[in-house]
């Protein structure tokens, strides 16, 4: 989401950190560039002005002049200002009330309210909450059916649909059913419009006055840019929101929405939504996002992602086989499946510190998230014996495997070559023992496994 902004800020900081001493004119020049970068990222003008003034005031102060590394100190000041702009700390849902606790989802049509409702329900389910989903959108064709289908997919109950029932009556019935059924949380998915109008606002206000939601969450599309801040301002002034959910953060937005909304509304961004796949919402951490913007990485989120999505027992089993020198294509297949569970490859790389410097190379490599599926197809086209003993795979077998998976013989060769390199590295690491293990891993990573563009496209 912040690729362009991150790239421009990195360029500014590289010039600053390369200087031993910073003059006030250097800081002024940098502030002008930061201002332009933020405006190009579609950050609201009042937010840009406030941000630049805050950074400049601190940057020309004594703490920078006396610093051993003035350029690095400016980077820290910008980082701290970004964190303040984004909200200083993460704010999760406030569900401290007598159950069932109503949570109301509001926003414009097409912002991802229904999908976000299901994602939030899944997150709460993982936290051992009993959740009831209820669609109040009687206007969009099949909207109620869509939420019911999503609820079924994730194993969360949804309120039975009564054709012709009005939104306020649906809300009352949802709260009554939730109380009788012993539910902890009721998520009310309200109707949206293509634009803000009095009728929609009036309906949402009426429902809010009936159910008194503990949380009123505004769902906003990150692609809306500066408009997202205006939408948030309108909803907050007319309805009163407690926070927001920013969706489609994996899209090609310029990041202005995230940097503007908190400052404009005074209400925190609580969650981030990534894609259409139904998986739990990501908790919004301002400090981590600031780190991503400034190319400092987000290793904490990366580790949390790995801990949640990687099968620990399977990873340990494969790791033990690797250390014992037993590593075959079944083990490689297991690793590919684990990587797929982690999510978007470019997104994962973006969480590593300093990867912004290699953006051009990563873009040129045309990393494809379907790459592991194609690699899986190659391995699954092999016989069990071939997977256990890859050295028996000769020319005729390669042709059969390629035909079976719809790839070329060259693609099969590339996979086998990468497997051989990994297997050789495992043998060397075994010989070196634990002392040499980390050096071996470093060499392997330094060698670029898996090399971008080295696998079939």
Q: What is the pLDDT of residues 404-420, one digit of tens each?
A: 999 999 999 988 988 88
Cα 188 to Cα 33, 167, 178, 217, 419: the distances in Å are: 44, 10, 12, 10, 50
DSSP assignment letter at 160: P
Residue 220 has phi, psi (to 5 degrees) of -130, 135
Mean pLDDT along residues 236-255: 78
Residue that wins the pLDDT comparison between 221 and 250: 221
Please state, rounded to an integer, the average pLDDT across all residues of the chain: 77
| Antiparallel, parallel or unpaired: β 269-272 and 282-283 | antiparallel
Cis peptide preceding 450, ω within 30 of 0: yes
Banded model confidence at residue 441, pLDDT cuts 50, 70, 90: very low
**In whole angstroms, what is the distance from residue 50 CA to residue 369 CA?**
39
pLDDT in tens, 342-382: 666 555 555 554 444 445 554 555 556 677 788 889 999 99
CA separation, residue 372 to residues 345, 377, 444, 451, 456 (Å):
10, 8, 19, 13, 9
Q: Tell me the two tokens of residue 180.
A: 């009788």
* Beta-carbon count within 10 A of 89 CB: 11
Helix (H, G, I), strand (E, B) or coil at 183: coil
347 neighbors 250 (Cβ within 8 angstroms): yes
* pLDDT tens-place string over residues 165-209: 999 999 999 999 999 999 999 999 998 877 777 888 889 999 999
In the prediction, which pLDDT does 250 show?
Answer: 65
Task: Tell how far CA 45 is from the center of its chain.
Answer: 26
Instruction: Order across the sheet with 185-189: list the strands.
Output: 157-158, 131-135, 185-189, 101-106, 215-221, 243-247, 269-272, 282-283
Q: Is residue 455's pLDDT more than 50? A: no
Distance CA 190, CA 192 (A): 7
pLDDT at 85 exceeding the cut of 70? yes
pTM: 0.61
Q: Which pair of structure tokens corresponds to residue 137?
A: 């959108």
Which helix (H) or strand (E) segment holds residue 133: the answer is strand 131-135
What's the pLDDT at 443? 44
DSSP state letter for 356: G
User: CA 261, CA 230: separation in Å to the nearest integer?
Assistant: 8
Helix (H, G, I), strand (E, B) or coil at 46: helix
Q: What does the pLDDT read at residue 368?
A: 61
pLDDT at 393 over 60: yes
The Cα diameter of the chain in Å comes to 73
How confident is the model at residue 141, as a pLDDT?
A: 81
Residues 6+ apart with CB under 8 A from 26: 16, 19
Residue 457 clears pLDDT 60, i.e. is over it: no
- What was the pLDDT predicted at 70? 65
Handedness of CA 112, 116, 117, 119 (dihedral sign): positive
Residue 301 CA to residue 21 CA, distance in Å, equals: 35
Distance CA 74, CA 97 (A): 44
Distance from C-alpha of 116 to C-alpha of 71, rounded to nearest angstrom: 41
Instruction: Give the pLDDT score at 212.
Output: 94
Q: What is the pLDDT of residue 410?
A: 92
Higher pLDDT, 177 or 333: 177
**pLDDT band per the 50, 70, 90 thresholds, residue 232:** confident
CB 247 within 8 A of CB 221: yes
Listed residue (395, 390, 392) closest to 379, CA to CA:
390
Of the candidates 154, 153, 97, 93, the one whose C-alpha atom is nearest the C-alpha of residue 125 is 154
Please list the residues that pair with 218 across neighbouring strands: 106, 244
Report the 10 Å Cβ neighbour count for 84: 16
For 261, the token pair is 């909304």
Is pLDDT above 60 for 126?
Answer: yes
CA 294 to chain centre: 16
Local confidence band at 133 (pLDDT 50, 70, 90 cut-offs): very high
| pLDDT of residue 309 exceeding 60 | no
CB-based contact 269:284 (threshold 8 Å): yes
Listed in sequence order, the residues at least 6 apart from 438 whose beta carbon sits closer than 8 Å to its beta carbon are: none
């Amino acid at each position: 989401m912040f690729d362009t902004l991150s790239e421009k800020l990195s360029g500014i900081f590289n010039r600053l950190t390369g200087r031993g001493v910073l003059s006030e004119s250097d800081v002024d020049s940098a502030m002008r560039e930061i201002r332009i970068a933020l405006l190009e990222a579609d950050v609201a003008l009042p937010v840009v002005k406030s941000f630049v003034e805050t950074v400049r005031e601190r940057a020309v102060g004594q703490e920078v002049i006396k610093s051993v590394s003035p350029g690095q100190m400016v980077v820290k000041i910008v980082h701290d200002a970004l964190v303040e702009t984004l909200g200083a700390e993460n704010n999760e849902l406030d569900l401290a009330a007598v159950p069932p606790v109503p949570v109301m989802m509001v926003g414009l049509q097409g912002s991802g309210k229904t999908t976000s409702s299901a994602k939030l329900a899944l997150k709460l389910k993982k936290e051992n909450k009993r959740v009831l989903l209820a669609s109040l959108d009687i206007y969009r064709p099949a909207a109620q059916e869509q939420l019911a289908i999503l609820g079924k997919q994730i194993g969360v109950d949804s309120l039975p649909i009564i054709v012709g029932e009005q939104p306020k009556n649906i809300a009352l019935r949802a709260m009554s059913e939730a109380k009788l059924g012993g539910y902890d949380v009721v998520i009310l998915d309200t109707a949206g419009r293509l634009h803000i109008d009095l009728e929609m606002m009036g309906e949402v206000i009426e429902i809010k006055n009936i159910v008194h939601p503990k949380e009123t969450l505004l769902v906003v599309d990150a692609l809306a840019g500066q408009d997202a801040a205006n939408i948030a301002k309108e909803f907050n002034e007319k309805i009163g929101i407690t926070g927001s959910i920013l969706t489609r953060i994996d899209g090609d937005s310029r990041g202005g929405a995230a940097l503007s909304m908190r400052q404009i509304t005074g209400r925190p961004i609580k969650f981030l939504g990534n894609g259409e796949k139904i998986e739990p919402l990501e908790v919004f951490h301002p400090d981590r996002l600031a780190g991503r913007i400034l190319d400092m990485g987000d290793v904490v989120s990366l580790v949390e992602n790995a801990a949640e999505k990687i099968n620990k027992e399977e990873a340990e089993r494969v790791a033990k086989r690797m250390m014992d020198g037993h590593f075959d294509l079944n083990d490689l297949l297991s690793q590919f499946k684990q990587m797929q569970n982690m999510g978007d490859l470019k997104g994962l790389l973006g969480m590593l510190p300093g990867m912004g410097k290699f953006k051009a190379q990563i873009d040129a490599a045309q990393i494809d998230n379907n790459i592991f599926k194609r690699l899986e197809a190659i391995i699954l086209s092999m016989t069990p014996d071939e997977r256990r003993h890859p050295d028996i795979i000769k020319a005729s077998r390669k042709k059969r495997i390629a035909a079976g998976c719809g790839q070329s013989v060259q693609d099969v060769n590339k996979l086998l070559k990468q497997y051989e390199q990994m297997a050789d590295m495992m043998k060397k690491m075994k010989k070196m023992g634990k002392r040499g293990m980390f050096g071996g891993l470093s060499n392997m990573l330094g060698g670029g496994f898996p090399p971008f563009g080295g696998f079939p496209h």
